[in-house]
Structure 1
Amino acid sequence: MDKNNSTIQIAFICENDLCKAANYVWMIISPVLLVFGLFGGFLIATALIRIRSHTSPLSLFLFILTITDVSILCVGLVRLWILETWELDIRDLSNAGCKLLHFLVYFSMQFSSWILVCVTIERFLKCRCIVYSSMVTIRRCKLAIGVVFLVLGSLNSHYFWTHGFITTQNKTTCGVQPGYETFDEWYIKVDLFILCVVPFIIMMTLDFFILRILKAARLFRQASVATSQMYNKLKKVDQRLTKMLLITNLYFLFSTLPVSIIFILKSYLNSQSETLYSVLSLIGSIVYTLQYSNYSVNCIFYTVYDKRIRRHIKQIFRIAKPRLRSPGSQYTVRSSSSEMSEGISTVTSQVSIRTFSQIDQ
């Protein structure tokens, strides 16, 4: 979702406390979300590269999701932060930039939502299908990503001719081209379903079946597992996955639905009233930052439950952290074995730093 240009032109006139509060929300929260999202995205992307994301369907989807979310923060949140801080809209710098930024914001947000759908489908098939390994292959996952990319790209390609520079009152700004106003209002409603409603329904439906499968498997293990210790360990894994599914999908709805609703309301309400505009500005700043917070923490929700990713992130911090060796006659050199088989075993060898000038024969 993106902010409408018609509201921006009034923003310079509005000087009451509500408008100032909305401006402070953007100025303070946006940099925090941006730094957190970019730094977290870099760590997760690096960890996924280290574990060879192209060899695992889930890792491949998470890698694409990470890159997409970082792109959303760069093309969407950065622009809004600059706009609210320095009153400069980078879309007004060039006609090509106006068209391209409109396309990238809408396309990348929808693409992120449908990659989440792909992740949920992959989790469902892994729980449901015995022939998962032969059904869900890397080649088919790449094909699914390509299809989603092409469909959403084609669907949002209209921004290259429906938006561009328009001149009103001797001022050139980025906006909807004359004759496409009705189409733009109609597409806002379509975007609500593509971005939020349909993906949420699919994810919640599949999560319901996943939870039922996990419950049935837990009851089966309770009757078949010999030791209670092993059963409790497997139960904790199920509970962790259940929490991940519920938290990610509920937060997805909580962060994307309000901004879609407020965007539709703005198209019907008369924002020429300063009081109404002030209220909508404050509410809009809150729901917009809430939406972008979803892209800052999106991958963290999914990767925090993956031990491999957590392990590689810890290794990244160990590499960056300087090591201080304690004085002594011996020190330990730890050499990690190759990660091609995702092993975590380490070999410790004690190396003496003393040299002997003579060996008794």
Structure 2
Amino acid sequence: MNASSLTKGADSFAHFAGYPLFIVGSLANIICIFVLNRPKMKSNNVTFYLQALAVNDIFVLDVGLMQKWLHTFDISLKQMNPALCKLLPFLDKFFLEMASWIVVAVSMERMVAVCNPIRYRNSSKCHQPLVLVTVIISIACVNAPILYYYGLDSTCHSTAPRSYIGIKRITFFLLYWAFPLLLLVTSTVIIVRKLQAETVVGSKEISTTNCERIKKKLNHRDTVYLLLFINCCFIICVSPFAICVFLITVLEPKLKGNASTQRFYTAYVICQIISYLNNAINFVPYMLTSRTFRKELKALFRIRNSRIFMLD
């Protein structure tokens, strides 16, 4: 298969995979928002972050994936007006990086709950919005130069110097994958090792019976399994695309010949579409690992159905 055929195959893959991924992912995330907003789900210590993740994933699919899918029809939203030319590249990077760091926040929150269950139980959860706002501001500041460098004349393109383009790609690689991966692996290892321990981390003055009761209440196995599932999805779906971005950044000056460029383009497009699975399938780990989520989902649809019958 020649390079031209590979490029056409990559575009076809983006065309046929993008549309169902966008539709199914958006609907699944909307359902997740409704279920996670139910009272019993709100009692979970990571529900706030999971709601934020579902909202962010909708924007990832609407802003990022939709652009890639429309591009297969030779439709470029960025070229419609100067505002979209600047905003869409910025929002594309912003929402992708936000998705990674919200998953990190879920993992770190659970690690603290497992390592210090009694102190975590007695602490308030008002820090969660503060953490989210801090992440939003930090990622927005890092990607702010995109708003300056992108401009619209005949085509929407970046006027940034080549040195910044390399820095932008490396920064995206680090914030989107490398740093989150390091934190996710570290927190997961700590959580697993803590759960394997026979004693509960807590004050020695508390009786063993009370410790076991608190442990069962705080260290919900469903939440841990959900976290592990989400982390695995992140590693499997995001890693190929992130590594591809890194290789293109490093090897781009050495790429000579149209065939080599097209092969890298093919790998980039396919890995990028696969990476959007991470933003579209969170409904699956919720269903597989959380009994509470499944019960609340059934209850939600029972309520919806009963209201429809009442209207009829």
TM-score of the alignment, normalized to the shorter chain, above 0.5: yes
Give identity over the alignment, percent: 22
Tell me how far 1:25 sits from its aligned partner.
0.4
Tell me how far 1:97 sits from its aligned partner.
0.5
Tell me how far 1:70 sits from its aligned partner.
0.7
Alignment of 1:68-217 (within 5 A): 68-84=56-72, 86-129=73-116, 130-135=118-123, 137-166=124-153, 172-177=154-159, 179-217=160-198
Per-residue displacement from partner, 1:39-74 (whole Å, max 9, x unpaired)? 110111011222376665411110001000110000
Distance 1:275 1:154 in 2: 37
Distance 2:163 2:130 in 1: 35
Partner in structure 2 of residue 250 of structure 1: 232
Q: Given the alignment of the two structures, is residue 41 of structure 1 paired with residue 29 of structure 2, yes or no?
A: yes
Q: Structure 2 counterpart of 1:154, which letter?
A: C
Tell me how far 1:35 sits from its aligned partner.
1.5
Using the size of structure 2 for normalisation, the TM-score is: 0.83
Q: Structure 1 counterpart of 2:26, which letter?
A: L
Q: Structure 1 counterpart of 2:121, which letter?
A: S
Distance 2:21 2:199 in 1: 38
- Kindly tell me: are residues 57 and 150 of structure 1, through their superposed partners in 2, closer, same or farther at Cα, counting changes over 3 Å? farther
Partner in structure 2 of residue 283 of structure 1: 267
Given that 2:7 and 2:266 are in contact with CA atoms closer than 8 Å, whether structure 1 keeps it comes out as yes
Structure 2 stretches lacking a partner, 5+ long: 202-207, 210-215
Q: Which has the higher contact order (CA 8 A, sep 6+)?
A: 2
Q: Given the alignment of the two structures, is residue 309 of structure 1 paired with residue 293 of structure 2, yes or no?
A: yes
RMSD after superposition: 3.2
- Kindly tell me: are residues 217 and 192 of structure 1, through their superposed partners in 2, closer, same or farther at Cα, counting changes over 3 Å? same
Tell me how far 1:303 sits from its aligned partner.
6.0
Tell me how far 1:285 sits from its aligned partner.
2.3
Given that 1:66 and 1:299 are in contact with CA atoms closer than 8 Å, whether structure 2 keeps it comes out as no
Partner in structure 2 of residue 31 of structure 1: 19
Using the size of structure 1 for normalisation, the TM-score is: 0.72
From the CA coordinates, give the structure whose radius of gyration is larger.
1
Per-residue displacement from partner, 1:271-330 (whole Å, max 9, x unpaired)? 67332233223212220111101100135425643333222211233345589x9xxxxx
Partner in structure 2 of residue 5 of structure 1: none
Distance 1:64 1:259 in 2: 23
Distance 1:253 1:266 in 2: 20
Given that 2:41 and 2:292 are in contact with CA atoms closer than 8 Å, whether structure 1 keeps it comes out as no
Given that 1:53 and 1:59 are in contact with CA atoms closer than 8 Å, whether structure 2 keeps it comes out as yes
* Count of aligned pairs between the two proteins: 294
- Kindly tell me: are residues 281 and 187 of structure 1, through their superposed partners in 2, closer, same or farther at Cα, counting changes over 3 Å? closer
Bigger mean CA offset, 108-117 vs 307-316: 307-316
Given that 1:99 and 1:160 are in contact with CA atoms closer than 8 Å, whether structure 2 keeps it comes out as yes
Q: Structure 1 counterpart of 2:182, which letter?
A: I
Tell me how far 1:155 sits from its aligned partner.
1.2
Q: Given the alignment of the two structures, is residue 17 of structure 1 paired with residue 2 of structure 2, yes or no?
A: no
Partner in structure 1 of residue 38 of structure 2: 50
Tell me how far 1:214 sits from its aligned partner.
0.9
Per-residue displacement from partner, 1:328-359 (whole Å, max 9, x unpaired)? xxxxxxxxxxxxxxxxxxxxxxxxxxxxxxxx
Alignment partner of 2:187: what SS?
Answer: helix
Distance 1:244 1:104 in 2: 28
Distance 1:117 1:72 in 2: 17
